[in-house]
Amino acid sequence: MHGKVNPSLIYSVLLELGLGVAAVALGWFLGVNPREHLVPWWDWKGILKSFALGASVGLGLAICMQVFSLLPIRSLQKLDRMVQSQLKTLLGPMGIPELLLLSLSAGIGEELLFRGLIQGWWLSFYENPTMLEALPGILVSAVCFGFAHPLSKTYIAIATLAGLLFGVLYWSTGDLLACVLAHAIYDAIICVYWKWSESRSHIR
């Protein structure tokens, strides 16, 4: 990291982790434990399994999004320019270690809130919910996740689709750590790839 701590990094990390703290507090009030399906730290086999699953989903999503952004669709091209501008403003001063820390914070905080609390609250009404029974919780958590990323209408739609993927992953595996890692790894790939592209453009 740079010698001077980036205030934007501190604010962003605290904001993301604050979502997780809020989720745990609200969960206590609602009688839901958002951390219930996190693999315990001493279960190394479970952690490795979650990491393999999360890495596969995060990498697959990042590749799909990169291919999707190359499609000759005006709204996507406009969104790509907007995202590039936002990334440059918010993340430009950050180094790769800082981007990785921010990505992990986003994965932890947002997944505790949207999957652990919102979707988990709905799933708590069923012992072994079928896809049809789990669907309302998946949809609500995905839509909330989408609107939590209000960069544009297109971006909200894309974030909602990502939220659906994370929601199905959570329902099908009951593994919140896999969702956290999938989310964090996706963010990390996108941010690091952008940083690498920016450095290459300055060299030319």
Q: Which amino acid is at 14?
A: L
Supply angle C-alpha 30, 144, 150, rounded to 5.
140
pLDDT digits (tens, 9 = 90+) for 56-106: 999 999 999 888 877 777 777 777 777 777 777 777 788 899 999 999 999
Cα(109)–Cα(50) distance, integer angstroms:
17
Which pLDDT belongs to residue 99?
93
